[in-house]
Amino acid sequence: MIKKYIYGEPFPTGAAVKSIAASEDKLPFFESDNKGGFSYALSENDIVYGLGEQIRGINKRGWQYVSWNYDNPNHHEDTRSLYGSHNFIIVSGQQTFGAFFDYAGKMEFDIGYTKRSEMRITADKNDLIVYIITGENEKDIVKQFRQLIGRSYIPPFWAFGYGQSRWGYKNEQDIRTVAEQHKAAGIPLDSIYLDIDYMERYKDFTVDKERFPDLEKLAADMKEQGIHLVPIIDAGVKIEDGYDVYEEGVRENYFCKNAEGGDFVGAVWPGRVHFPDFLQPEARKWFGEKYSVLTKLGIEGFWNDMNEPAIFYTEDRLSDTCAEIEKLTSGNMGINEYFRFTGMVAGLNGNMGDYDKFYHNVDGKMIKHSEVHNLYGMNMTRSAFEALKEICPEKRTLFFSRSSYIGAHRYGGIWQGDNKSWWSHILQSMQQLPALNMAGFLFTGSDTGGFGCDTTEDLMLRWLQYSLFTPLFRNHSADGTRFQELYRFDNVSAAAEMIKIRYSLIPYLYSEFLKAALNDEMMFKPLAFEFPGDDMAKQTEDQLLLGNELMIAPVYKQNALGRYVYLPEEMMLIRMSAWDKYETQILPKGHHYVDVKLDELVFFIRSNKAIPFGKPTANTGEIDLSSLEMIGFPNSTYLLYSDNGYSTEPEESIKISALSK
């Protein structure tokens, strides 16, 4: 059952799609202070799940989180905000219920941080909607919540293939080389991403003619090899005379305004930019239609970036900072002056104060950006999604975004933002998955191999052994870091085998994805969701159930040649050194130390279940569902969901086939 409680005058976020009458009774479970604060007394063994992309564990207890979409490529345990804000939690324990705090501005979730036995949730203003969901168990609560927020985005089938990306592919030849090298090394590939370097001076919807003289031909040549080009689109629009997007935006008042009514100026990659006012339906439509500049060249997928929005600096703050620095540096810089100096420079990027300085026009009313901050990225992807439905109604377009709020899951996927080539970020990504799924984000994954910092071959192999299970499977790295295309490493064949295994698993992964999307379920679940009475399952933070059949337990520590795994029931261990070379072993419920060599993939099949496994292909276009083998326990059956892979109404072509082992 879902109950809705309205406080003050909430801004309509667009998260919920089902209309529910507001309850008149007192808010259950929480004490509200009627100032935007909600407290809950945590019992010793309560677990708090959720908060989507937030850092730390699957169980969120013991930290304070801030919902404020924020560009933080250096995130670690100490971080409080990331790229997306997903204010849905499930308390599981003494009382089990879900709660969604639908609020577009800044919110704090103190989950046993200030006081171990108290959860305190605070919105900046007392203008929000709280939904309380009760049900049979956690899975039922998630299902009800997902029905409230609407069906998750389903990408085209090819989006399940492997993607190669790097900020720094500078020209057409770089892209052709990536395709050739993958082919030469026998590594399947479905997409190559175009980062900001394809644009002319970082201007959205332009192509640099010198470096990419014929993008249409390049896209067509790639497509012939089964490879899709996926360009990036950034939120900020460069201020440059003669640039149509800039000039139209100014003319039509489609950009966010400053307090004086002029177009607000921030700075991102191109230097000075204006930010489209994605909260205006007309601006959304206008910006969305611009994607056709690229679809006309044969592009079928996009990633939307810097849409928190990230602001490197604003001109006002920059000039104040420069003036202050001049003063500071004119005398002897002692410790205080030095810290002030470094603090001021570091404080230019993503400065909270800057988000108070611009406004959205919502039905003629000027709304301060900070009050609706967390909706910006979602509305950018909505703009693309809605326009592309009109422009290319016959097929699904791939979209994923960096920034998001609940509701954005209907328009596209998200990647988990900038990470690092750190071992800890494998685990971090894994712990985000179930919470993202609860909030509707099914098409997601991390920058495999790590975006910032230099990767290593062993880190890449271990990361592949995890990421090959995630719907979005993309190797992406930052300019200036060590190259990490798989063909660059010594043991290319080990990496190639991992990608081949991914392709063999795609029929299963896509099928489980469709089930999760169409039935409002999670694709990745904490163990305790299926084994609720099991205390060890409740504490397991580094294993996940994938669909109804698998359990994954990746190795995420350097130089480890195995790990402890907890089996909540008897399971079949699958050990693969190549897609066509695998061993199985049935292990009883309990703790096991499992050897996992660097070039091996190990995963588990649940008791009395089996999965379909295909033959790897060069790309998803060649996947043949008619020759699937079944791996797992004898006498088990599996319901394979498939569709034509492109229809915008997946139900139109959905096929369910019963396979048995």
- Which residues contribute to the site for ligand GLC (CB under 6 A)? 167, 195-196, 232, 305, 402, 418, 476
From residue 572, alpha-carbon distances to 359, 507, 513, 536, 609 in Å are 56, 20, 22, 19, 9
Could you tell me the smallest distance in angstroms from the CB atom of residue 479 to ligand GLC? Answer: 7
For the stretch 343-352, contacts whose Cβ atoms lie closer than 8 Å and that sit 24 or more positions apart, written own/partner, are 345/321, 348/312, 348/313, 348/317, 348/318, 348/321, 349/71, 349/310, 349/311, 349/312, 349/313, 350/70, 350/71, 350/72, 350/308, 350/310, 350/311, 351/311, 351/313, 351/314, 351/317
CB-nearer residue toward ligand GLC: 119 or 178: 178
Could you tell me the smallest distance in angstroms from the CB atom of residue 372 to ligand GLC? Answer: 22
CB-nearer residue toward ligand GLC: 418 or 512: 418
Name which of 203, 172, 183, 171 is nearest 290 in CA terms. Answer: 203
Cα angle: 84, vertex 85, 86; to 5 degrees: 115
Residue of closest CB approach to ligand GLC: 167
- Catalytic member of 46, 102, 308, 371: 308
Q: Is residue 374 a contact partner of residue 104, using CB atoms and an 8 Å limit?
A: yes
Could you tell me the smallest distance in angstroms from the CB atom of residue 94 to ligand GLC? Answer: 40
Residue 418 among the catalytic residues = yes
Q: What are phi and psi of 2, to 5 degrees?
A: -115, 130
Q: Is residue 402 a contact partner of residue 306, using CB atoms and an 8 Å limit?
A: yes
CB-nearer residue toward ligand GLC: 138 or 418: 418
C-alpha span between 448 and 467 (Å, rounded): 7
H helices within 134-261, ranges in order?
A: 138-149, 172-184, 215-224, 244-251
Sign of the torsion formed by the C-alpha atoms of 309, 313, 316 and 321:
positive
Could you tell me the smallest distance in angstroms from the CB atom of residue 15 to ligand GLC? Answer: 24
Could you tell me the smallest distance in angstroms from the CB atom of residue 453 to ligand GLC? Answer: 13
Residue 595 among the catalytic residues = no
Tokens of 636: 């088990």
Name which of 181, 198, 194 is nearest 229 in CA terms. Answer: 194
CB-nearer residue toward ligand GLC: 58 or 196: 196
Sign of the torsion formed by the C-alpha atoms of 617, 619, 622 and 625:
positive
Which class for 271: exposed (0-12), middle (13-18), buried (19 or more C-beta within 10 A)?
Answer: middle
C-alpha span between 322 and 317 (Å, rounded): 8
Could you tell me the smallest distance in angstroms from the CB atom of residue 414 to ligand GLC? Answer: 11
CB-nearer residue toward ligand GLC: 35 or 201: 201
- Catalytic member of 234, 305, 354, 521: 305
CB-nearer residue toward ligand GLC: 111 or 230: 230
Could you tell me the smallest distance in angstroms from the CB atom of residue 272 to ligand GLC? Answer: 17
Cα angle: 486, vertex 541, 49; to 5 degrees: 115
Could you tell me the smallest distance in angstroms from the CB atom of residue 352 to ligand GLC? Answer: 20
CB-nearer residue toward ligand GLC: 112 or 450: 450
Start-to-end C-alpha separation, the chain: 39
Could you tell me the smallest distance in angstroms from the CB atom of residue 488 to ligand GLC? Answer: 18
C-alpha span between 504 and 614 (Å, rounded): 4
C-alpha span between 123 and 606 (Å, rounded): 42
The number of angstroms, rounded, from the C-alpha of 69 to the middle of its chain's C-alpha atoms is 13
Element (DSSP H or E) covering residue 552: strand 550-552
Residue 308 among the catalytic residues = yes
Could you tell me the smallest distance in angstroms from the CB atom of residue 195 to ligand GLC? Answer: 5
Q: What are phi and psi of 526, to 5 degrees?
A: -65, 150
CB-nearer residue toward ligand GLC: 284 or 402: 402
CB-nearer residue toward ligand GLC: 232 or 610: 232
User: What's the chain's length in residues?
Assistant: 661
Element (DSSP H or E) covering residue 435: helix 424-438
The identity of residue 22, as a single letter, is A
CB-nearer residue toward ligand GLC: 73 or 281: 73
Contacts of 83 (CB under 8 A, 6+ apart): 53, 69, 70, 71, 72, 308, 377, 402, 403, 404, 414, 416, 417
- Catalytic member of 124, 172, 277, 418: 418
Catalytic positions = 305, 308, 418
